[in-house]
Structure 1
Amino acid sequence: MSTAPFSPDWTKKYAADPYAVLGVAVTADERRILKRYRQVAKQLHPDIQATQAEGGREFANEVLTRLVNPAYQRLKQDKGRSETLATLRFKVRRLSREQKLSSRGDLAQQLRDSPEPEVDVFYEQALSTLSENQYSSHDVFVQQTTAIAELNLIYLRRKMGDPVIREKRTGLVSSATVQQTVSVTAENGTSAPVSGPPVNYAQRHISRAKAYIANKKYAQAIQELRDAVRIESSNSDYHTMLGQVYLMNKMGGMAKVHIRQALKLNAQNAIALKYAKQLNIDLTDLNGDVKPKKSGGLFGRFAKKH
């Protein structure tokens, strides 16, 4: 641990984003937040830091008591998480309106430019990369926490176009999936049910899958995506997403099956083409119009980091 002292400026600098302080996703539920808090608190605990130099022990103790513990206190309750997200969204809107929402970090830039279907998965992968050694030293803490805070703002900016969302134990889901009918006041003053749009059951599975992915519950995400594929077996995007999650779950064989199927259904599916190249899938027997792209895709970006 670095012997550099704790900076009083950090209390103000990182106060707005306790998610960045803990190194946890803005989509995290209370269980995931608690798990991450315990990991960080254990790393910074005086008993673990006993062999470090005095400056390092002081730094760890100050960060734990003045940043990490308060961040957890704010996020452990629903009300605190709701207020924090509201504050962050307001900040995103203000910075966007003033054209001051920057993305200086490499990962934040890539998230800003990611295709819409890749946003959630890329965000989780980028966050995992940044938070892995977040508290390994003074300098790394400053660099990684600042990068995570920036990543969170870009992610929220990308999600601004979504319907109003609410937190679930498995993450954030669209409120449109919660209630398919609403009540309006009729002319006689009574409430009359009004039918909502037709239920898209496949999309419900996709929404739940995204929530599971956000919380790294890949087995559950796979099951939801398989259900979506059963309902809409000719949807190339669904097969692509299923292939992505299989790959995240280290099931390369199944990933190849669904990426191949995605390209059979849509030979120009750009995301599927990226993963086909990464998985070394032979495209010649799929469709004569399938041409590999140069990009290494979502996981290729992270492979280059190591």
Structure 2
Amino acid sequence: MSQSTLTSEWLTNFSDPYAVLGISLAADDRRVLKRYRTVAKLLHPDHYTPEDDTTKDLASQLFARLVNPAYQKLKQEKGRKENVSLLRLQVRRLYRATPLAPKSDLACQLAQQPINGVDVFYEQAIAQLSDTQYQPLDQFEPLTQQLGELNLVYLQLKMGDVLMREKPTGIVSAAEARPIQFAPADTETISESYAQRHYRRAQEYMKKGNWKEAEQELRDAIKIEANKSEYHALLGVAYLQQNLQSMAKVYLRQALKLNPKDPLACRFAPKLGLEVAPPANGAQNGKAQKVQPDNKAAKHHGGLFGLFRSKK
């Protein structure tokens, strides 16, 4: 951002007041005011040295022409609802013209989140970008654009069912538009197959001892489908093979939480001091017991011999 004087044309790139302030679409009065005060301090002339007149002038213009108007739009609930409605309208227009294709890494990751993880990831992404949105000022333009993209992707995810149910209008008739409708069941099937594909690739990587590559594949699988114990268990083993015991423990514990009888988690959890449920025919006094690993099997393939049988 090199504008010493902000042109009206340049200012139109920042029509989303939520992105300008660096707050989520769920922000209330208190959060809006708190963020406004934080940005005001960062852009205050006293924040800059007397020698840095150009940056000081730019900060003053940003505050006067973007930040302050954004706050005026969002400081009351009525204004926030109106601006969210405008963003929803923008999403509908984009959806009818062409599917929204995220460009930034965080927006792409948000688009791949399971529906029950969208809100948490979105809030964390907004917080991450807003931390450095105005420091230094050169960050303002790219980060604010990323914040705006996050807002659109988030709304598209939350409006997904509504968008698909809307009747098409304009030149394309309803009969012509029908083939591109997506049923929820088809989307679920596609998501599941992609997750399974990541899982299979991870298995192949781990057979070759490529733990880092396997780790990335499994993280991608969990983003798509977070309720599969085998994904968490295998990721825990990948971390264990890299001597990252704390991370391994987190994912093995989650695998056991999802499925207390997950065979891979039951085998490796005791190595980290985690307790597993006893077999049905070996329970004693109803207490969990630690499973002793098979030392002979552990000698093969870095302790992963026989762990890559196909899941059905």
TM-score class, shorter: 0.5 to 0.7
> Does 2:3 correspond to 1:8?
no
Q: Stretches of 4+ moved more than 4 A in 1?
A: 1-5, 255-258, 265-268, 280-284
Instruction: Say whether the 8 Å CA contact 1:2–1:138 is kept in structure 2.
Output: no
Q: Counterpart of 2:41 in 1: which secondary structure?
A: helix
CA distance in 2, matches of 1:283, 1:4: 60
Aligned twin of 1:160: 159
CA distance in 2, matches of 1:24, 1:52: 32
* 1:51 shift after superposition: 3.8
CA distance in 2, matches of 1:281, 1:30: 46
Aligned twin of 1:198: none
Higher helix share: 2
* 1:154 shift after superposition: 0.2
* 1:79 shift after superposition: 1.2
* AA matched with 1:10: W
Instruction: Say whether the 8 Å CA contact 1:5–1:55 is kept in structure 2.
Output: no
Q: Counterpart of 1:28 in 2: which secondary structure?
A: coil
Distance 1:120 1:68, change over 3 A: same
Aligned twin of 2:149: 150
Higher strand share: 1
CA distance in 2, matches of 1:266, 1:94: 48
Distance 1:282 1:99, change over 3 A: farther
Aligned twin of 1:27: 26
* 1:100 shift after superposition: 4.7
CA distance in 2, matches of 1:8, 1:266: 62
CA distance in 2, matches of 1:115, 1:139: 33
CA distance in 1, matches of 2:39, 2:82: 23
Instruction: Say whether the 8 Å CA contact 2:4–2:57 is kept in structure 1.
Output: no
Q: Deviations over 1:58-99 (max 9, x none)?
A: 100000000000000000111110110000001101101111
Distance 1:117 1:129, change over 3 A: same
Distance 1:122 1:130, change over 3 A: same
Instruction: Say whether the 8 Å CA contact 2:133–2:140 is kept in structure 1.
Output: yes
> Does 2:122 correspond to 1:94?
no
Identity of aligned residues (%): 43
Matches within 5 A, 1:94-243: 94-161=93-160
Distance 1:7 1:116, change over 3 A: same
CA distance in 1, matches of 2:2, 2:93: 36
Aligned twin of 2:258: 263
Q: Which has the higher contact order (CA 8 A, sep 6+)?
A: 1
Instruction: Say whether the 8 Å CA contact 2:255–2:262 is kept in structure 1.
Output: no
CA distance in 2, matches of 1:281, 1:127: 35
Report the structure number with the largest CA radius of gyration.
2
Of 45-54 and 22-31, deviating more is: 45-54
- Under a length normalisation based on structure 2, what TM-score does the superposition of the two structures give? 0.54
Aligned twin of 2:36: 37
Aligned twin of 1:46: 45
CA distance in 2, matches of 1:267, 1:42: 53
Instruction: Say whether the 8 Å CA contact 1:3–1:54 is kept in structure 2.
Output: no
Q: Counterpart of 2:45 in 1: which secondary structure?
A: coil
* 1:266 shift after superposition: 8.4
Structure 2 residue runs of 5 or longer lacking an equivalent are: 163-225, 228-246, 280-290, 292-306
Aligned twin of 1:205: none
Distance 1:89 1:3, change over 3 A: closer
CA distance in 2, matches of 1:97, 1:160: 13
Q: Deviations over 1:186-237 (max 9, x none)?
A: xxxxxxxxxxxxxxxxxxxxxxxxxxxxxxxxxxxxxxxxxxxxxxxxxx97
CA distance in 1, matches of 2:117, 2:97: 27
* 1:8 shift after superposition: 3.2
CA distance in 1, matches of 2:261, 2:40: 48
Instruction: Say whether the 8 Å CA contact 1:44–1:64 is kept in structure 2.
Output: yes
- Under a length normalisation based on structure 1, what TM-score does the superposition of the two structures give? 0.55
Q: Counterpart of 1:134 in 2: which secondary structure?
A: coil
